[in-house]
Amino acid sequence: MIKHKEQRVGVLVDVSNMYHSAKNLYGKKVNFREILTQAVADRKLIRATAYVIKTENNDEMSFFEALSQQGFEVKMKDLQIFAGGAKKGDWDVGITIDAIKLGDKLDVIILVSGDGDYLPVVSYLQNNKGCLVEIMAFRKTASSRLVEESDDFTDLGASKKFLI
């Protein structure tokens, strides 16, 4: 895929999806600074948002601060804990809504997630907004349909530079 310097790009990062994939696959952490650099690829960055889940302990606050210093707008949501002890924390709907809202202002939307739940928004952005949609994720945990539907796919597991 050709990446033009004039393309306006937005980077939307599903932080917990990436965090758990890196931890489970490689026992490592994700280098979000490197992901942002590779995603933008010398194009015009309009917005970079990292979507995070806040747990009961405040250990992650320094991590959220670091994301902010690396150029991400950090959107935070509390982890929901249900009566039976089940936990839920995902940003799928929030990321989808932001992607659709940004679709009019951007040429390229880069989703940093391998979650197949994003298939409908990828299709909508490509067909209704005329956006290119690039996916960055770990191939081993990425939805194969999501990879196929994307205009460009970067396998974060193919290079050590995306892991710390």
Render pLDDT for 22-64 as a digit per residue (tens, 0 to 9): 999 999 999 999 999 999 999 999 999 999 998 877 678 889 9
- What residue type is assigned to position 47 of the chain? R
**Residue 104, in any domain of the structure:** yes
CATH number, domain of 83, equals 3.40.50.1010
Domain-embedded: residue 1: no
- Full domain range(s) for residue 68: 8-162
80 φ/ψ angles, rounded to the nearest 5 degrees:
-90, 135
Overall number of domains in the chain:
1
Residue 17: partners with Cβ closer than 8 Å, 6 or more residues away = 113, 114, 115, 137
Residue 148 lies in a domain: yes
What is the predicted pLDDT for the residue at 24? 94
Confidence category of residue 93, pLDDT binned at 50, 70, 90? very high
Whether 88 shows a pLDDT value over 80: the answer reads no
Secondary structure class of 141 (helix, strand, coil): helix
What number is the average pLDDT over the span 113-124? 97
CA distance 161 to 164: 8
Does residue 2 belong to any structural domain of this protein? no
pLDDT of residue 124: 98
Question: Which H/E stretch holds residue 154?
Answer: strand 152-155
Give the pLDDT score at 41: 96
Q: Place 90 in a pLDDT band, splitting at 50, 70 and 90.
A: confident
Q: Is 101 within the bounds of a domain? A: yes
Query: How far is residue 99's CA from residue 95's CA, in Å, rounded to a whole number?
Result: 6
Cα Rg, the chain, nearest whole Å:
15
Annotate 77-133 with DSSP letters as a single string: EEPEE-TTS-EE---HHHHHHHHHHHTTT-SEEEEE---GGGHHHHHHHHHHS--EE
88, part of any domain:
yes
Evaluate whether residue 123 is within a structural domain: yes
Within-domain flag for 21: yes
